[in-house]
Chains A and B, each alone.
Chain A
Amino acid sequence: MNRVFALWQTAVGKKVAMAVSGILLVAFLISHMASNVLVFTAPEKLDAYAEWLRGFGPLLWVARAGLLALVGIHIAAAWQLTRMARAARPKGYARLEHQVSSYAARTMRYGGVLILVFIVFHILHYTTGDFHPDFVPGEVGRNLVVGMQVKWTAAFYAISMIAIGAHFYHGIWSVFQTLGLNHPSWNRSRVTLTLGLTLVVAGGFLSIPLAALFGLLR
């Protein structure tokens, strides 16, 4: 444990913490997305899935605590690294040209804040039923469809999903680099995997509010 703490105390270690917590959160989002698109087949299927999840009882709370801890670690590391970066260049340039860094990479910090706001809203929206026009506990599929009929809500979901996509685009590739998973023979696959996961997960999520906005989800 001392060694893990020793790792955390360095900038490299904080990046490792971001990478590990990030990739575990990506794993959660894959399952979350895969279950949510069930709404396109039949909203009742989501109810059954939710019922199955609740069957885990106390284990579900372990999973929730775990997710919360991952988000906490991810944010704590990001916060400290941002402060370090700001302190490392107290006086900025009159002009700094970005040559190769992507828009996604440069907006990770702002996108991250938006995603945090979204997570809070999302839990209030679909777990506790705040901001929801007609919330019925247990009717998960119906709640999802009804909640999405509110235009500004669906629009906020869509924007947030694009932010998550951008976060994935830089974040997943970054995981390989930060954890030192680098080899000339499969570096190309890192890009393919990043793009694939970004398109599938963010695209899958995005399809729900978009379908609602275009009147395809009723």
Chain B
Amino acid sequence: MSETMNLTLKVWRQAGPDAPGEFRSYPAVANEHMSFLEMLDVVNEGLTEQGDDPIAFDHDCREGICGTCSLMINGTPHGPKRAVTTCQLHMRSFKDGDEILIEPWRANAFPVVRDLVVDRAAFDRIIQAGGFISAPTGSSPDGNAIQIPKDDAERSMDAAACIGCGACVAACPNASAMLFTAAKVAHLGLLPQGQPERERRVLSMVHAMDEEGFGGCTNFGECQEACPKEISIDNIALLNRDFVRATLGDRESGVRRTAVM
């Protein structure tokens, strides 16, 4: 038999984007095998039976790969465990009698839709700004026609592990989206297939990021710690380098003919 634990949740409730919000307390009963979201499901069942509005929260795959779940749990994105999304966080990380504070991601670029649900479409717009890569489609290419050093492939895959959940923005004291954008810039920029549009991509994505109203990076490192996929801030250094090079050496808006003295 697993131990039953009695918890007190303090949850941010907000009826709509423009409604004022407030914390409300709810008792919760859980066992250690439940995921955090299952614990909330049980609370919501109780609320529904009482005729109250259930707590709105984002979730989809519940296996840690879709990037839909969020939640600031006791001041940490995705809760106390490292490299874990909220859906993969289990109640064994808490103990009987705990009070758990649950807030939505807070950033101007992530407006609250309702309760704990925020609109992360700003991330989609940054991705869209990245545009396309010139990859041949149609017949499948010969295997190993493009040689990729193993280290590059692995660094690219590490960056591509980003699920776009927004924990980096949530954890950042500046609400900066640098880790997310850097991961997206790096995962294509490190591969040969990403080279033709490498400069254009980093320029467009960084400008899109600024337009969404995210803050700047001050190298706190909080994002790397909060990231459920352990994306490295090395990617941010790579983004900075690519962006400076692309801006100062911008071929597209540059002078096409060299003046003769």
Chain A positions within 8 Å of B, measured between CB atoms, are 3-4, 6-7, 10-16, 81, 84-85, 87-101, 105-106, 108, 170, 173-174, 176-182, 184
Contact = CB atoms under 8 A, between A and B. Distances in A.
Q: Is the interface of B mostly helix, strand, loop or mixed?
A: mixed
17 contacts: A4-B248, A7-B244, A10-B247, A11-B215, A12-B239, A15-B240, A81-B174, A88-B107, A95-B75, A95-B101, A95-B103, A97-B76, A99-B76, A105-B221, A106-B220, A174-B219, A180-B242
Nearest to B250: A3
A69 B230 CA distance: 40
A84 B216 contact: yes
Nearest to B224: A100
A89 B215 contact: yes
B74 A174 contact: no
Given A16-B244, A85-B216, A100-B220, A182 B225 contact: no
Contacts of A91: 106
Interface string B226-255: 100000011011111111100111100000
A146 B101 CA distance: 57
Given A97-B75, A173-B219, A178-B219, A92 B240 contact: no
B175 interface: yes
A99 B222 contact: yes
Contacts of B218: 15, 81, 85, 105, 108, 174
A177 B220 contact: no
Interface stretch (B27-35, B62-70, B191-199, B205-213): B205-213
A99 B225 contact: yes
B86 interface: no
B215 A85 contact: yes
B4 interface: no
Nearest to B221: A100
B238 A94 contact: no
B220 to A, nearest CB: 4
B108 A88 contact: yes
Given A11-B216, A182-B234, A95 B74 contact: yes
A182 to B, nearest CB: 4
Contacts of B249: 3
A85 B103 contact: no
B23 interface: yes
Nearest to B174: A85
Given A4-B248, A95-B74, A89 B238 contact: no
B216 A81 contact: yes
A87 B215 CA distance: 8
B222 A178 contact: no
Contacts of A84: 174, 215-216
A15 B247 contact: no
A188 B220 CA distance: 17
B180 interface: no
Contacts of A178: 217, 219, 237, 240
A89 B106 contact: yes
| Highest count of chain B CB atoms <10 Å: which of A84, A87, A89 | A89
A105 B221 CA distance: 10
A6 B216 CA distance: 16
B85 interface: no
A13 B75 CA distance: 31
Given A3-B248, A96-B173, A89 B237 contact: no
A113 to B, nearest CB: 15
Given A92-B106, A94-B101, A177-B219, A182 B237 contact: yes
Nearest to A13: B247
Given A12-B240, A97-B74, A3 B247 contact: yes
Contact of B250 (A6, A13, A81, A99): A6
